[in-house]
Each structure stands twice: as structure tokens, then as C-alpha cells.
Amino acid sequence: MGALQKKDEVWKYKKYLCRAKLFDLVAGGKIVVLNEAEAHENDLYASHRVILRRGQKETIAIIDLSGDLVSRGEVGLFAEVSAELSAEDGDQIEIIHMQRPASIEFIKKKMDGHTLSASEIETIMRELMENRLSEAELASFITSVYIRGMNEDEVAALTSALVSTGETLNLGKSPICDKHCIGGVAGNRTTMLIVPIVAAAGLYIPKTSSRSITSAAGTADTMEVLCDVSLDIEQMRQVVLKAKGCVVWGGSLRLASADDKLIKIRNPLSLDPRGVLLASILAKKKSVGAQYVIIDIPIGRGAKIADKADAADLGREFINIGKRLGMKIEVLVTDGSEPVGKGIGPALECNDVLSVLNNAGPADLRDKSCQLAGALLELSGKVKKGRGTQVAEQILKSGKALAKFREIVELQGGKPNIKLSDIPQASYKYEVRAEKDGRIFHIDNKMISKIARAAGAPNDKAAGVLLLCERGDQVRKGDVLFEIRSNSEAKLSFAIKALEGWAAVDLEKTVLSSIQ
């Protein structure tokens, strides 16, 4: 029998043959279409799983049924399945029944509010990777965890299971550092400053970052303005061994691969079950061999975490589970109520980063980055407690961080000695002005990001928003609050029109009179 039959489960060997009918479409998963009548005669129904075999190649797919798309004796193969089988139209495909996945009972167990064992969680992740679970079943798992929660044993088990589904980075070096931000803050490109500061201090920091989902830019989108971020695991390893740090897109690597599949299920309803969130973050850290990790939890109006108490609870869970996994973690609760930096959008954020590295730029971005980098230097034992921020500031002021950043950019395929003038500029801009006198009370993270996306970010690297005010500033009617930038007149017009419904900058209300 083939490799898939060598699992620790009993397979049903009932099977029949069909001719391949290729659909030049991507289904978003391994799905095949069977003739409905013929499938029912063979005791196969929608959402059942089958093994598909062509010669020595085989894969698992989920069934869809149709009376029109395929005739008797045919099987419709979408792009994912036909590629895996190297199938062409008319090829003979063997269709083999499969037993119901064991994970179904474990998912139902969680739905009923019971605790899952490490082996049960591992089975769910393994069957997920084998494509034995449908999106509906995975959604049920995510929903059950969202409603029922997970204890620390379950989260630690899920983290380990996620790590086992992908590659791992083995540098053979120590100490290895990492950081993560929970997100939700516009701008906030601290990673691109922390990595060169920490690497310049002599510590290894192999940083994987994400692309934007709903924001104007992820760290990977911003770094991509300067260099390649789609490195494979060996390329990443070589960069880190030479420069001690990197900033690469996690999606180009196969770290904790099951997590990427779970993210696709979580995104439509923006479900972030705490247990899955913790495991997702920590699995990526464990996969790169991190020993010391700083977690940034921004709180405040519009942030993902609303208050200090909730942040403290989440922070304790990070620390406790990290300890189980052999990682020393420190959590910093930061102000996430407003954007960090002036630029919102890849090139504009890149401008902020290079400006700070050149000892200019936004003070809030510089200060937060040095605070986080300093905490990581202290956590690793590189510097004494209480001196981390000062040491980070010295590395920044000395130019060592800039030199290290340029080294990393060049090793990742970017231009040597990158300068501010190398950052692309948008062709069009529009100034948004204050409609009355007042004091800046609040700058909304979500609204600013929506405007930047409407202008074309992150796909248009130069598009976005440049903030020209900050909380507490006194402004006059007609003063410029921010600029919208884009390389598309049409998208710029759309962003301008969208301003009518989006209040991105709030002014303090004026007290007209008082009663004595």
C-alpha cells in the first residue's frame, strides 16, 4: 500500500476507478467533484474524505457532489489536487474510501466543554495537515475553543503540536532572542529598529513577521520596500549567521504550518480564541529556537486589548506557557490608543525607521523601540537590569544600529547603504485640514489605517497617510492634520470621498460656558 495507508488508523479499502476531468480553478483546499448518483451508489456523500491515487502518487481530498459538472466514471480535480497527482485529463484515478477522522470525536468533546489531552490535540493537528478535516470541522474546533477556552496544559500541547507540523530553524548558536506585538496599532514599526539594535549588541534575533491583513502594512510589507523578505529557511539561516538578525516574511517559511491553516479559518469572523492566539505566537517563536522573548501588548481605545487587567492576565499566560516550552518571556504593556510614528503605509513607515536610525524621526517610535530592545537585552542577561534602554539608545546614537540594518538589508538582497532618498514617493497627495480651532484629542488607529488602505496601501508601497499632528497639539482652522498619498488618482479620490464617513482625528470639545 502507499504511504498514506501506513498511518495508525484502519482504512476501508472499498474503491472504484474514474477518469480525471481537470478544472483550471483553485479551490482553496483539496476538493474533488464526484458524480452525485455514482457517489451515492458507492456510499460516498458530500464532505466525506477519499484517497485519490494515480500510479505511485496519492493524496487525500474532500468530496463535493454534482449531477452536471462530472458524468459517471469521471472525477473533477481542482488545481491543488491535479498538481499533487501530476494528473492530466483522462488519467485513470483510483478513489478509495477513508475511515472517519478520529478528530471529529475530539472536536465534539471540546464543544461539550471537556479538556483535550496532548495526544488528542496532536491528532487534530496531524489530521488537519493530512487534509482530513473539512473547513466546517475546523471552524467547529476554533469556535469550540473560542467559547470553551483552553487551559495552560492544552495551550502548551497545541503549541508543541503546531511546531511539529513545520520546519524549525537550527542556528547552533546562543542566545537567541525574539519579540512579538499583539498588533492593532498603526505605524508601530518597532521590529525594524529592535532587530538591528539587538543584533548590533551581539545577540541573535531571527525575526519572522507578517503581512497586512486589515492594516495599512505589516512589518514584512514595510521591510519589502527595501529588500526581499520571501526567504526560505536555509536563506534565513545564512543571513542570521552572518548578520545575527533578519526581518523576513513568515509566510514564505514552513514554520508551524498548521497555524497558517487555522488562521484562514479564524480570519472571516476575526475569531482570536485566546488559547489559539497564544499557541500561534509561541509556536512561531519556538520554531526559530527563541530562548528570550519580549511580548508587546498595546492597550487603550481601539486596541485589541482594552485594559490593563486583561493585558496582565494575557501576559501571565504568555510567561507561564513560555516557561513550559523552555522560553523566558517578559511582557510589556504599552500605550496602543494611537498610531506610533508619522507614516502609515509601507514606504512612509520605512521613512520613519530610517529617520530614527539616522538619529532623527518620530520620538515615540524611537523611545518605544529602545524600551523594547532594552528589555530584551536585560532579559537575555546581556546588560544589567535597569540599563537596557540606555544601552539601546547608545547603540542607536553611535550609528551601529544603522550599520547593522544596512548589512541585513544587503544580505536580504537589497541595495547596499540604503538611504532615505531610496524610498519611493507617491505621485499624488491630498492635505486634510482642520475644520475649526481646537486641540488634538485622539487619532484613531482603525480609521487612519482604513484611509491608508483606501489610498492603495499596502499593495501600492508608497500609498498611505502621513500624520502631521499628534495628541495634545493645538491647531487652527485650516492647519494640515495629515496627508493622504497614492500613486493612483482614482484611489486617492476614493480615500478623499471616504473621509466623509470616517472621523480619523478628534478635536477636544470646547466648553462654551460654566455655572458658578
Full residue range of the structural domain in which residue 446 is found: 428-507
Confidence of residue 27 (pLDDT cuts 50, 70, 90): confident
Residue 427, pLDDT above cutoff 80? yes
Domain end among 411, 444, 473 = 411
Eight-state DSSP code of residue 101: P
Provide the sign of the torsion angle of the four alpha carbons 368, 372, 374, 375, taken in this order. positive
Query: Which one-letter DSSP state was computed for residue 47?
Result: T
Using the 3D structure, point to which of 381, 411, 441 is the last residue of a domain: 411
Q: How many distinct structural domains can be found in the chain?
A: 4
The phi, psi pair for 29, rounded to 5°, reads 180, 175
Cβ–Cβ < 8 Å for 487, 426: yes
Specify the pTM. Answer: 0.86
Give whole-number Cα distances, 324 to 118, 143, 236, 283, 316, in Å.
Answer: 14, 26, 27, 12, 13
132-146, 279-293, 379-393, 446-460: least confidently modelled range: 132-146
Residues 245 and 108 placed together within one structural domain of the fold: no
Look up the CATH number of the domain holding residue 142.
Answer: 1.20.970.10
13 has pLDDT over 70: no
For residues 300 and 377, membership in a common domain is answered with: yes
Same domain, 188 and 310: yes
Asked whether the predicted pLDDT for residue 516 surpasses 80, the reply is: no
Which residues have C-beta within 8 Å of that of residue 107, sequence separation ≥ 6?
124, 137, 140, 141, 144
Give per-residue pLDDT as tens, 171-211: 999 999 999 999 889 999 999 999 999 999 999 999 999 99
Please check whether residues 440 and 457 belong to one and the same domain: yes
Position 513 pLDDT exceeds 80? no
The verdict on residue 283 lying in a domain is yes
Alpha-carbon distance 221 to 226, whole Å?
10
Check whether 515 has a pLDDT greater than 60: no
Domain assignment present for residue 154? The answer is no
Mark whether 218 and 353 lie in a shared domain: yes
Please state, rounded to an integer, the average pLDDT across all residues of the chain. Answer: 91
pLDDT of residue 509: 59
How far apart (Å, rounded) are the C-alpha atoms in residues 80 and 28? 8
CA torsion sign for 500, 501, 507, 508 is positive
* C-alpha cell at position 487: 500613486
Same domain, 109 and 91: no
In a domain, 167, yes or no: no
In a domain, 495, yes or no: yes
Strand order, beta sheet including 177-181:
177-181, 292-299, 328-335
Give 475-487 pLDDT, tens digit per residue: 999 999 999 999 9
Q: How far apart are CA 372 and CA 36, in angstroms?
A: 58
Strongest mean pLDDT among 264-273, 308-317, 389-398, 446-455: 389-398
Annotated catalytic residue 437: no
**Whether residues 75 and 19 fall in one domain:** yes
Residue 239's contacts (CB-CB under 8 Å, 6 or more residues apart) are 231, 246, 248, 408, 411, 412
> 119 or 264: which carries more pLDDT confidence?
119
Q: Which CATH number characterizes residue 459's domain?
A: 3.90.1170.30
Same domain for 286 and 200? yes
C-alpha cell at 445: 488607529
The pLDDT tens digits of the residues spanning 209-251 come to 999 888 999 999 999 999 999 999 999 999 999 999 999 999 8
Domain assignment of residue 264, yes or no = no
Dist CA 164 CA 179 (whole Å):
21
Which amino acid is located at 212 in the chain? S
Of 149, 168, 186, which residue sits at a domain end?
A: 149
Residues 6+ apart with CB under 8 A from 68: none
Rounded Cα distance, 241 and 174, in Å: 11
Within-domain flag for 466? yes
Looking at 153, 260, 272, 479, which residue is catalytic? Answer: 272
pLDDT of residue 498 exceeding 90: no
Asked whether residue 263 is assigned to any structural domain, the reply reads: no
CB 333 within 8 A of CB 312: yes
**331 in a structural domain:** yes
Residues 36 and 51 in one domain: yes
Report yes or no: 341 and 187 within 8 Å, Cβ to Cβ.
yes
197 and 220 inside one domain:
yes
Mean pLDDT of 245-261: 89
Residue 43: band (very low, low, confident or very high) from pLDDT cuts 50, 70, 90: confident
Question: 91-100, 126-135, 178-187, 316-325: which range is least confident on average?
Answer: 126-135
List of residues 6+ apart from 109 with CB closer than 8 A: 116, 120
Question: Would you say residue 514 has pLDDT above 60?
Answer: no
For residue 385, what is the domain's CATH number?
Answer: 3.40.1030.10
Cα-flanking dihedrals φ and ψ of residue 439, to 5°?
-115, 135
Label residue 507 by pLDDT band (50, 70, 90): confident
Query: Is the Cα dihedral 191, 193, 196, 199 positive or negative?
Result: negative
pLDDT score of 2 more than 80: no
> Percentage of the chain surpassing pLDDT 70?
96
Give the three-state DSSP class for 386. coil
CA dihedral sign of residues 8, 9, 15, 17: negative
Residue with cell 497564544: 278
pLDDT digits (tens, 9 = 90+) for 357-415: 999 989 999 999 999 999 999 999 999 999 999 999 999 999 999 999 999 999 999 99
| pLDDT value at residue 11 | 40
Q: Based on the domain organization, do 332 and 360 belong to the same domain?
A: yes
500 and 387 inside one domain:
no
All three cell numbers of 163:
511546531
